[in-house]
Amino acid sequence: MSESLFWSLAPDILRLHRQNASALVATGSQIHDAALVNLDGLYYMWLENDGDAPSQPQPGILLIEDEEERARISWIATARTVHKKDSVYRRAAEALRRRFQSNRENQACLVELSPQQGRLTIDNTQDFTISPHDLMRALYPANERMKSFAL
């Protein structure tokens, strides 16, 4: 993706992640409404039923859409259960608590979605392929700038 195209799309990517956009996650034969956060390019969400959580890493699809349906991101991702002993568990659980002011830790299972390949659709007329790298650049532009200075 060209730099000029990326920087024209980055505000839409950022807006979808900053606002309370609706999200759906499909893993296996299950589809879930999702309240999720993104940490370092990975998505985290609570699944209400432990039986729905993937026991092994498996393919999943994530759809994030704004309320006006002006912009949508869809990802093919790998889903895995995050166990309480995993180092990222506490950080992801706290981020979910802060963003949604609720604690579902005792009633739900934490799932991590690692995006592999994505599409950004704007106004149902423009469709762009995006990568996990594009996601990181849009969500964490300061990190990108720091890396360029280090080179």
Q: What average pLDDT does the segment 1-30 reach?
A: 86
Computed over every residue of the chain, the mean pLDDT equals 85
Interior/surface letters 4-28, b for 16+ CB within 10 angstroms, e for the rest:
eebeebbebbeebbeeebebebbbe
Packed helices 3-18 and 132-139: angle between N→C axes, nearest 10 degrees: 70
**CA 37 to CA 15: how far, in whole Å?**
13
pLDDT attached to residue 34: 85
Query: For residue 74, is pLDDT > 90?
Result: yes
Among 8-12, 111-115, 142-146, which is the least confidently predicted range?
142-146
Domains and CATH numbers, the chain: 3-150 (2.30.110.10)
Packed helices 141-150 and 132-139: angle between N→C axes, nearest 10 degrees: 100
CB-based contact 54:27 (threshold 8 Å): yes
pLDDT attached to residue 22: 79
pLDDT attached to residue 99: 85
> What are the contacts of 64-68 at 24+ separation with CB within 8 A?
64/16, 64/17, 64/21, 64/22, 64/23, 65/16, 65/21, 65/22, 65/23, 66/15, 66/16, 66/19, 66/21, 67/19, 67/20, 67/21, 67/22
pLDDT attached to residue 144: 55
> How confident is the model over 20-66, as pLDDT tens digits?
667 899 987 788 888 899 999 999 998 876 565 666 778 999 999 98
Q: What average pLDDT does the segment 86-92 reach?
A: 94
CB-based contact 70:15 (threshold 8 Å): no
Q: What average pLDDT does the segment 11-25 reach?
A: 85
pLDDT attached to residue 114: 96
